[in-house]
């Protein structure tokens, strides 16, 4: 299964080039918003991707559902080839959209112990008082 549309692939590559350019110029690295969210439809594993390199390695926040989400690299090929029960595989959240940078997700995920918990914390934080 192909998890990336051409538009998502282009955005992930653009983020990677922006980071590399900042590094080469000795500037502060960007804090990009996640471009794609992948998930296991049968479990808690969730990934938020901000970059893609030429070798098909994604960078972002990875959470295998074990209580310790971490910022790092993960293989697009492995996500695409993973076979789950009932003929399912890892899926891309087609409704995912955020304006929050990856650093907000990292901080919230470390506090909550998961990306799913982080998303809940971030939603609650963005709701006006009395709307909860």
Confidence of residue 26 (pLDDT cuts 50, 70, 90): very high
**What's the Cα-to-Cα distance from 98 to each of 26, 55, 78, 90, 129, rounded to whole Å?**
28, 26, 25, 20, 21
Q: Are strands 36-39 and 91-92 parallel, antiparallel or unpaired?
A: antiparallel
39 falls within a domain: yes
Mean residue pLDDT across the chain = 95
Tens of pLDDT along 35-76?
A: 999 999 999 999 999 999 999 999 999 999 999 999 999 999
Domain of 95, in residue numbers: 6-126
36 falls within a domain: yes
110 falls within a domain: yes
120 falls within a domain: yes
Number of domains in the chain: 1
132 falls within a domain: no
Please name the residue ranges forming H helices in 1-101: 6-24, 76-81
131 falls within a domain: no
Tens of pLDDT along 6-22?
A: 999 999 999 999 999 99
Confidence of residue 126 (pLDDT cuts 50, 70, 90): confident
1 falls within a domain: no
What global pTM score does this model have?
A: 0.93
């Amino acid at each position: 299964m192909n998890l990336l549309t051409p538009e998502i692939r282009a955005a992930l590559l653009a983020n990677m080039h922006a980071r590399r350019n900042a590094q080469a110029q000795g500037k502060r690295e960007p804090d990009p918003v996640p471009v794609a969210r992948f998930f296991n439809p049968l479990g808690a594993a969730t990934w938020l991707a901000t970059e893609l390199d030429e070798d098909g390695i994604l960078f972002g926040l990875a959470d295998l559902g074990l209580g310790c989400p971490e910022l790092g690299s993960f293989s697009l090929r492995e996500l695409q080839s993973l076979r789950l029960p009932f003929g399912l595989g890892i899926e891309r959240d087609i409704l995912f959209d955020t304006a929050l940078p990856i650093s907000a997700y990292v901080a919230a995920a470390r506090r909550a112990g998961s990306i799913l918990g982080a998303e809940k914390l971030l939603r609650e934080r963005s709701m006006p008082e009395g709307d909860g």
